[in-house]
Amino acid sequence: MVTSATIGIDALHAMRTDRRKHRVEEMDWFEALYRVYLAAFLGGGAIFFLSGLVGDATFTPSDMANIHTHTPHVLGLITALTVFIGLRSGANGGPLAVEDAEVRHVLMAPVSHAQVLRHPAIQRFRTFAFAGAIAGGTANQLLGRRVPDAPALGLFALYGAIAGAIVGLLFVASALLAHGLGLARWMTTAIATILFGWQVAVTVGDTNIAGPFDFVGGMSMGWSRVHFVDFVGAALVLILSLLSITLVGRFSLEALARRSALVSQLKFAVTLQDVRTVVLLRRQLSQEHMRVKPWVKVPRVLRRDVVVGRGFRSLMHFPLRRVIRMKLLNITAAAALVLAWRGTTPLVVVAGLSLFVLGLDVVEPLSQEVDQPDRTDSLPLERGYLMSKHLVVPALASLFFLPAGVVAAFIMEPQASTVAYAVLLGIVALLGGVAGAAINSVKGAPDPLGGANEGLALPPEVSGMGTVIRSAWPPAVSIIACLPVLALRYGVENQSDILGNTLRAVGGVVILLVLVAGWVRQRDAIHAYFRNIKSSSPSSTTESN
Amino acid sequence: MARTRQNIHAPVQAAALHVSNVAKSYGTSPALDPITLEVAEGERIALIGHNGSGKTTMMRIAAGLLDASQGSVSICGHASGSLSARASLSFIADQPTFYDDLTLWEHMEYVARLHGVEEWEQTAADLLDHLGLYDRADEMPNRFSRGLKQKSAIALGFIRPFDLLLVDEPFVGLDASGKEALLELLASASENGSTVIVATHELGFVHTVKRIVALRDGRLVYDGPTEGIDVDSLVRTEDPAGEHDGEGK
């Protein structure tokens, strides 16, 4: 007798085939080719950029010794972080995101969930393994150019690709396992923290003890030495991946339904470079809700001003995990700034971006105001005035993170002067993060004068560039605010006026911060001014006539 | 609509829906207090309550779309979410969802065939005709208006066989003819022996049932016959004089 499940699966396969045909039939080939062209252009550009950054100078013997000693630990650390994120994703219902309709019509039909979800799981493995292989292969090949008496570059690319693919597989497998086994969120956090902590300990401690993911780094070094244990690790990853696929039938329908709706919105928000919506949807995906009961009651003195009081009240409802995440970002930024001071200049970007993301959380009261334009516009207050007052609490709150950053910097550079400079640089860097995030929030506010459609009349090249600049500007402000660390380094390297150099750079950043605050205050007036100029120009007068 | 049960598991003699001590909470916020409920085969029930009373949570847990924080649900004797339970249960949600790339007719075929219904065309044509959607069968339902989407979801809920029909707020957005068509479909499902549970405020339906289950603030406040009951008082946010502070049965 034919079972209903078989009939359902036949229907599923038939409809998937038909839908694939539909998509191919309706595909705009010109657009598809344009996408391929764009991907090749951007990918090629990125490789050229990285090549320039890495350079071609041959490594010295001591560099090579460092590479041999530290690569397994450092790549293991990246892998541990990936597994951490994967486990958390699985605990939050990831990593699969099937269509909403697929949940409603297929997963609620008498069809085996395992058979329905196996295909998307394999797709996910394929995508992540491929992306990892491309990244790993490229990175290892760039490294190979600097290795003296190196074997063929293809060998570097091959082992790099294998290591990258393993990282991709581990991400998906850990997420699928966490979800399929139904591990509680606290348990996945505990497991992920133990693995990550172990890897951090062996990396920072510079010991001979192996970390749990050293084999990934070891595999990437296949061009120089081959260890049996690395292949055992790779084989284990493959076994875990296969095992995780067998668990997809145990996935929670509730989690799949929640993610299916949110992920499609998230993709749309990413397409529009709408960072605020991405933040909100990501919070929903990870079920990060505000605390109902505030941490502490905001004292009356801080509530004297209604906007300031509202801001503090918002912060008092932040959930613990958000506070922990902000602290981690804060410490990451501090560590990146110390490493930039030691000579790794690109880490200024990491510090700036970490503080920008931290700022996105700190400016929550301001963002909430921007999210409610109708309410804001109905208040008997000038909008710019209201928005600028909303900057007070995020600016003060960001300084709450200063001590942890200073301590992190002091642990890495235990000198008395570290504390003084960390305080000085930390204040402007943190405020820069708030400034970048504030620009990002406020620029999302609708223009009360109705200029939202103005860009539509521009040619795509111009409006496209404008979009890129508008998207890049907020994080760029946060990165600029971290640059004084380079002035400090320059002063130390040249034994010139160290404090003077640093203070001048800090002064420049302070001017930028004041300008940002002024822009938030006068944004509507600036828009109105430019619109008036435009409407009173002879060309527009002629056009209107 | 056509209850051709070939190739589907044989019906089991058990309650159509058995909810045992089911509760749901989000973190520390309770959405549904522990509820126990049994619905016999062929019964027709209205689930009522004010906004936020827990009706949709209850329906979604029964449908297997939400995991209960405690307790268990069985559909015709099978654990909620199991293959057999899914074969027995048809759930029409309050928010219709459709594929972006399938026409309504293609949706009908897909859902019917997923449930083992191979002779589906005539049933689909009848259903669409009954709901006034026949001329739109070759259009994309995700581009329909709210009311047409609701009708399409109803058609998809009835194209497949079921023993238990759960419908969440089906009358929202429907015009008068749509409401009438739905009431006829619900009546026909009952006549065919299916169990029908509808979460609604629509008095037109409430007056056709013999049993009402009322929720208030996540608690079961009434479960009993419709006779002599002031339905309005059951859907108010506050309990007047606490007169329904227990099960009616």
Contact B87 A110 (CB under 8 A): yes
Q: By three-state DSSP, how is residue B199 classified? A: strand
Nearest one of A235, A205, A204, A206 to A219, comparing CA atoms: A235
The DSSP bridge partners found for residue B166 are B91, B197
Chain A's closest residue to B29, CA to CA, is A292
Say if residues B15 and B88 touch (Cβ distance below 8 Å). Answer: no
Q: Tens digit of pLDDT for each residue in B52-110?
A: 889 999 999 998 888 899 999 999 999 888 888 888 999 999 888 888 778 899 889 88
Model pTM score: 0.74
Residue B44 Cα to chain centre, angstroms = 11
- How much is the mean pLDDT over chain B? 84
Query: Residue holding tokens 């609490």?
Result: A393
Q: Tens digit of pLDDT for each residue in B211-220?
A: 999 998 899 9
Alpha helices per DSSP H over A372-415: 373-377, 383-389, 392-398, 402-412
pLDDT bracket for residue B207 (50, 70, 90): confident
pLDDT bracket for residue A446 (50, 70, 90): low
State the pLDDT at residue A445. 64
Is residue A52 predicted with pLDDT exceeding 60?
yes
d(CA B139, CA B153): 14
d(CA A530, CA A447): 13
Chain B's closest residue to A2, CA to CA, is B7
**What is the share, in percent, of chain B residues with pLDDT greater than 90?**
46
* Lowest mean pLDDT segment, chosen from A27-31, A435-439, A492-496, B85-89: A27-31
Q: Which residues of A touch B28 (CB under 8 A)?
A: 292
* Lowest mean pLDDT segment, chosen from A68-77, A289-298, A406-415, A443-452: A443-452
d(CA A132, CA A169): 8
Is residue A503 predicted with pLDDT exceeding 90?
yes
**Dihedral (CA of A396, A397, A398, A399) sign:** positive
Say if residues A154 and A222 touch (Cβ distance below 8 Å). Answer: no
State the pLDDT at residue B196. 94
State the average pLDDT over residues B231-242.
Answer: 63
State the average pLDDT over residues A62-68.
Answer: 85
d(CA A137, CA A160): 4
Q: Tens digit of pLDDT for each residue in A250-285?
A: 998 888 888 887 877 777 777 666 778 888 888 887
- CB proximity under 8 Å: A 85-104 to B: 99-104
Contact A15 B111 (CB under 8 A): no
Contact B114 A257 (CB under 8 A): no
Contact A109 B114 (CB under 8 A): yes
**Dihedral (CA of A408, A414, A420, A421) sign:** negative
d(CA B169, CA B92): 9
Is B155 exposed, middle or buried, given 0-12, 13-18 or 19+ CB atoms closer than 10 A?
A: buried
**Residues 6 or more apart whose Cβ sits within 8 Å of residue A91:** A178, A179, A183, A184, A185, A187, A188, A189
The DSSP bridge partners found for residue A237 are none
Which residue of B7, B86, B91 is in closest CB contact with A7?
B7
State the pLDDT at residue A174. 96
**What is the share, in percent, of chain B residues with pLDDT greater than 70?**
89
Q: Which element (helix H / strand E) includes B55?
A: helix B55-63
Q: Which element (helix H / strand E) includes A162?
A: helix A153-180
Nearest one of A441, A317, A427 to A388, comparing CA atoms: A441
State the average pLDDT over residues A396-400.
Answer: 93
Is residue A535 predicted with pLDDT exceeding 70?
yes
Neighbours of B45 (CB within 10 A): 22
pLDDT bracket for residue A381 (50, 70, 90): confident
Is A379 exposed, middle or buried, given 0-12, 13-18 or 19+ CB atoms closer than 10 A?
A: exposed
Residue type, B96: P
State the average pLDDT over residues A51-66.
Answer: 78
Is residue B120 predicted with pLDDT exceeding 80?
yes
Q: Is A27 on the interface with B (CB under 8 A)?
A: no
Nearest one of A465, A477, A487, A493 to A432, comparing CA atoms: A477
pLDDT bracket for residue A448 (50, 70, 90): low
pLDDT bracket for residue B168 (50, 70, 90): very high
**Dihedral (CA of B106, B108, B109, B110) sign:** positive
Contact B116 A7 (CB under 8 A): yes
Is residue A545 predicted with pLDDT exceeding 50?
no
Of the two residues B235 and A197, the one the predictor is more confident about is A197
- In angstroms, the separation between the Cα of residue B175 and the nearest Cα of chain A is 24
A interface test, pick of B4, B7, B67 with most A CB neighbours within 10 Å: B7
Q: Is A117 on the interface with B (CB under 8 A)?
A: no
End-to-end, the C-alpha distance of chain B in Å comes to 32
B interface test, pick of A1, A2, A4, A25 with most B CB neighbours within 10 Å: A4
Q: Tens digit of pLDDT for each residue in A170-204?
A: 999 999 999 999 998 889 999 999 999 999 888 88
Q: Is B27 on the interface with A (CB under 8 A)?
A: yes
Of the two residues B236 and B65, the one the predictor is more confident about is B65
Is residue B247 predicted with pLDDT exceeding 60?
no
d(CA A283, CA A374): 24
Is residue B9 predicted with pLDDT exceeding 70?
no
B interface test, pick of A185, A254, A256 with most B CB neighbours within 10 Å: A254
Most confident of A145-154, A323-332, A379-388, A527-536: A323-332
Q: Tens digit of pLDDT for each residue in A128-168?
A: 999 999 999 988 888 888 888 777 878 889 999 999 999 99
